[in-house]
Amino acid sequence: MAKSISFARGAPSLDIVDVEGLRAAADSAFTADPGGMTAYGTAIGYPPLREWIAERHQVAPEQVVVTNGSMQADAFLFDALVQDGDSVIVERPTYDRTLLSLRQRGADVRMVELEPDGIDVAAMERVLSAGARPKLAHIIPNFQNPAGYTLSAEKREVLLELAGNHGFTVFEDDPYVALRFEGAPLPTMLSMDQSESVVYASSFSKTVCPGIRVGYLVGPAEVIARVVKIATHTYISPNMVSQAIVHQFCLSGALERSIENVRNALRERAETLCEALSSELPEARFVKPSGGYFLWIDLPRGTDVGALFEAAAERGVLFVKGSDFVLAGAESSLRIAYSGVTPAEIEEGVKRLAEAYEQVRHAETVDAP
Ligand SMILES: Cc1ncc(COP(=O)(O)O)c(C=O)c1O
């Protein structure tokens, strides 16, 4: 079979991981602080990295906890704030792992439609007016996973107002914020918040590498203290070695260089993908991403993306079905991650995807009564 091309994983390809920079950062870390990085440490995370993050977000260190990836941060936050039966608002579609994590905790998940400028706040107001009392609204504000959309400045304000009026926490899940290809960055809801309504998460997975497993939460000191308690009981402390390496990577300027490198590569990949789709698969409807790892495709109504998935897999092309990111529906949609493939692979992958689409469409026409 032809070489496999994966549009499935939201991870960077090896050529955009700064392996040498990480090696140098590890060397510096072992020299600078062998005692600190080899000890158990504490559940708050490696203190110098915690301080670096606090400074970056202009908050007190007590408002930060550094974890093993932001998935761990999410899990701790849900453990702290979400009980069985609690209502939680999420975007539709949303990141499949948080969806699963919330459902496993027995949350009553309410999906609110995601628009190209972010969650439909009018629909959210209707849900709230109808009596929903959510504990949490999970929002991925920049270059959303899976849709690639970004929440507008206006909607950020409305969300904070709704959170203040209805007493819920906005969980701002923001691992892609640094990967903007064009336009001015928007303020985080964390920085706009006046009423301690926001808990913010981010990660070094998408800008450095996922294997390092370093993510974090920023929020009101009281919420963070609860999370730290859960973290202590769970693992004593997160991985100090990784966090000390990330800290040195940040101090040396390698982080900024890595962000620049990843951003430039992703911009080119996104361009190539959009051009290839426009020429090879004109039936695909999508919004050109202005940053991040993902592009969401809607195919004509009635397209069986389950069948497309099989036909693409036969041609060595993988993607994730839209239905994985919702509770029901999205059967004619799919998510393409362009982060792990080169421009040449993208062109080849889209060609094969278009062939798979032709096969599926033809089968549907033949089967039609
Ligand atoms: C929105 C979102 N949150 C969290 C994560 C998990 O990131 P981490 O590798 O930091 O655990 C991802 C990874 O794909 C993501 O897309």
Note the pLDDT tens digit of each residue in 138-177.
999 999 999 999 999 999 999 999 999 999 999 999 999 9
Query: For residue 203, which atom of ligand 1 is closest to its CA?
Result: 10
CATH number for region 22-254: 3.40.640.10
Tell me, in angstroms, the distance from the centre of ligand 1 to residue 70's CA.
6
Boundaries of every domain in the chain? 5-16+256-363, 22-254
Beta strands 136-139; 215-218: pairing state: unpaired
Mean pLDDT of 93-108: 96
pLDDT at 365 over 70: no
Q: Give the architecture (CATH level 2) of 5-16+256-363.
A: Alpha-Beta Complex (3.90)
Q: What is the mean pLDDT of residues 104-128?
A: 97
Tell whether ligand 1 has an atom less than 6 A from the beta carbon of residue 208: no
Pocket of ligand 1 contains residue 70 by CB under 6 Å: yes
How high is the pLDDT of residue 354? 98
pLDDT score of 2: 78
In the chain, % of residues over pLDDT 70:
98
pTM, entire model = 0.96
> Going by CA atoms, what residue is nearest to atom 13 of ligand 1?
10
Tell me, using a 6 A CB cutoff, whether residue 203 lines ligand 1. Answer: yes
Ligand 1 midpoint to CA 130 (Å): 31
pLDDT tens, position by position, 186-220 = 999 999 999 999 999 999 999 999 999 999 999 99
Alpha carbon of 175 to ligand 1 centroid (Å): 6
